[in-house]
Amino acid sequence: MTIKLHHRLLLTGAAGGLGQALRGRLKANCEVLRLSDRVDFGAVQEGEELALADLADAAAVSAAVQGVDAIVHLGGYSVEGPFEPILQANIVGVYNLYEAARQHGVKRVVFASSNHVTGFYRQSQTLTTDMPPRPDGFYGVSKAFGEDLSRFYFDRYGIETACVRIGSSFPEPRDRRMLASWLSYDDLHRLITACLSTPVLGHTIIFGMSNNAVTWWSNEQARHVGYVPQDSSDVFRDAVYARTPAPDLSDPAVQFQGGGFVKAGPFSG
């Protein structure tokens, strides 16, 4: 059973894929779940409230943050793409969120970072959380900005953040790459719960992955979070191999951890 440590919890990006997956699960963590996105998603249920906000709109973000005890920040541009919308959603947006947290005294944030912060490391490497970012596009750069900004707000204002470098969180791994990067929805919820409940979080980077046999990432430096994954991509391995072609080892999408993101674009227009 999850202990309800928070009275009111804010979930941004609530209308997205992970937001919808977490909406029901996070009700176990709080008395009131405040759902935010820039798109409407219909009626709220018991124990929920709605705060529509575009992340680029500082006043709307401030109103969404006011009165909450902690934030799970999933909202944003979630793939590689042109710089301008990434700038607004992920760079201006994360600044607006942390300024609102500072002004309203919110002391803990779980930030949905991404494996694309380190997408230009090779699939033959094992990363620790203190290795330098090697973003694989504008999207990865924007998440690296969020990680740095949250570290500044911790050092200066004491706002604790877990930067969860989510791998690939979908119902099942879609290809061979995701056998390494997969994070089940239940493990994502376990990870967020651990980040919200560990006594001292500090500013922590943690890879968001299930207990997959093939892995590129070590969470050895984030043991204080207490995240213990229960699921594994291994049960999907045979089916994934059966439906996908053998990898072309000369393809950058196969060589690098970021997969297809490393060759997306250019988006300069």
Contact footprint for ligand NAI (CB under 6 A) = 13, 15-19, 37-39, 54-56, 74-78, 88-89, 93, 112, 114, 166, 168-169
Binding residue for ligand 15L, selected from 90, 114, 198, 212, defined by CB under 6 A: 114
| 13 touches, from ligand 15L, ligand NAI, none (C-beta below 5 to 8 Å by class) | ligand NAI
| 38 touches, from ligand 15L, ligand NAI, none (C-beta below 5 to 8 Å by class) | ligand NAI
- Residue 158 vs 174, nearer CB to ligand NAI: 174
**Omega into 171 within 30° of 0, i.e. cis?**
no
Alpha-carbon gap, residue 117 to 139, rounded angstroms? 8
Helices and strands: H and E segment counts in the chain: 9, 7
| 195 touches, from ligand 15L, ligand NAI, none (C-beta below 5 to 8 Å by class) | none
Among 77, 139, 153, 227, the active-site one is: 139
Cβ atoms of 166 and 188 closer than 8 Å: yes
Structure tokens at 93: 């947006």
The site map against ligand 15L for 132-161 (x = CB under 6 A) is: ------------------------------
Alpha-carbon gap, residue 143 to 112, rounded angstroms? 8
Alpha-carbon gap, residue 107 to 241, rounded angstroms? 44
Taking the complex as a whole, how short is the minimal distance between the CB of residue 242 and ligand 15L, in angstroms?
A: 20
Cβ-proximal residue to ligand NAI, closest one:
16
Residues facing 6 on adjacent strands:
30
Binding residue for ligand 15L, selected from 27, 34, 116, 189, defined by CB under 6 A: 116
Alpha-carbon gap, residue 135 to 85, rounded angstroms? 17
In the residue annotation, 227 being an active-site residue is answered as: no
Cβ-proximal residue to ligand 15L, closest one:
168
The kind and range of the H/E element at 10 are strand 6-12
Binding residue for ligand 15L, selected from 12, 29, 142, 168, defined by CB under 6 A: 168
Cβ atoms of 168 and 183 closer than 8 Å: yes
Structure tokens at 191: 């990870």
**Residue 16 DSSP SS3:** coil
Beta strands 30-36 and 6-12, pairing class: parallel
- Residue 166 vs 201, nearer CB to ligand NAI: 166
Task: Give phi and psi for 85, each to the nearest 5.
Answer: -65, -30
- By CB under 6 A, the residues from 207 to 266 that bind ligand 15L are 259
Binding residue for ligand 15L, selected from 36, 78, 90, 219, defined by CB under 6 A: 78
- Residue 96 vs 257, nearer CB to ligand 15L: 257
What is the number of other CB atoms lying within 10 angstroms of the CB of residue 19?
21
Burial (CB count within 10 angstroms: exposed 0-12, middle 13-18, buried 19+), residue 138:
buried
Contact between 171 and ligand 15L per CB under 6 A: no
- Residue 68 vs 249, nearer CB to ligand NAI: 68
- Residue 30 vs 112, nearer CB to ligand 15L: 112
Contact between 115 and ligand 15L per CB under 6 A: yes
By annotation, the residues acting in catalysis are 139
